[in-house]
Amino acid sequence: MLEAGEDPLYVARRLIRMASEDIGLAEPGALGVSVAAMQAVHFVGMPEGNLALAQAAVYLAVAPKSDALYAGYGAVQADVQRTIAEPVPLHLRNPVTGLMRQFGYGKDYQYAHSTPDRLTDMQCLPDNLKDRRYYLPTDEGFEKKLKERLRTIQEWKEKYASGRKE
Q: How many CB atoms lie within 10 A of CB 65?
A: 18
Neighbours of 34 (CB within 10 A): 27
HSE value, Cβ hemisphere, 13 Å, CA-based, for 27: 20
Closest CA to 108 of 89, 127, 126: 89
pLDDT of residue 162: 61
Q: Around Cβ 87, how many Cβ atoms within 10 Å?
A: 9
Q: Provide the pLDDT for residue 165.
A: 52
Note the pLDDT of residue 164. 52
Domains of the chain are 85-161 (1.10.3710)
Put simply, whether the predicted model's pTM sits higher than 0.85 gets the answer no
Run means of pLDDT, 10 residues per run, the chain, 166 residues = 91 97 97 98 93 97 96 95 89 94 92 89 88 94 96 90 58
Q: What pLDDT shows up at residue 140?
A: 96
Q: What is the pLDDT of residue 2?
A: 87
How many beta carbons lie within 10 A of that of residue 136, not counting itself?
A: 14
Phi-psi region of 136 (alpha: psi -120 to 50; beta: other; left: phi over 0): beta
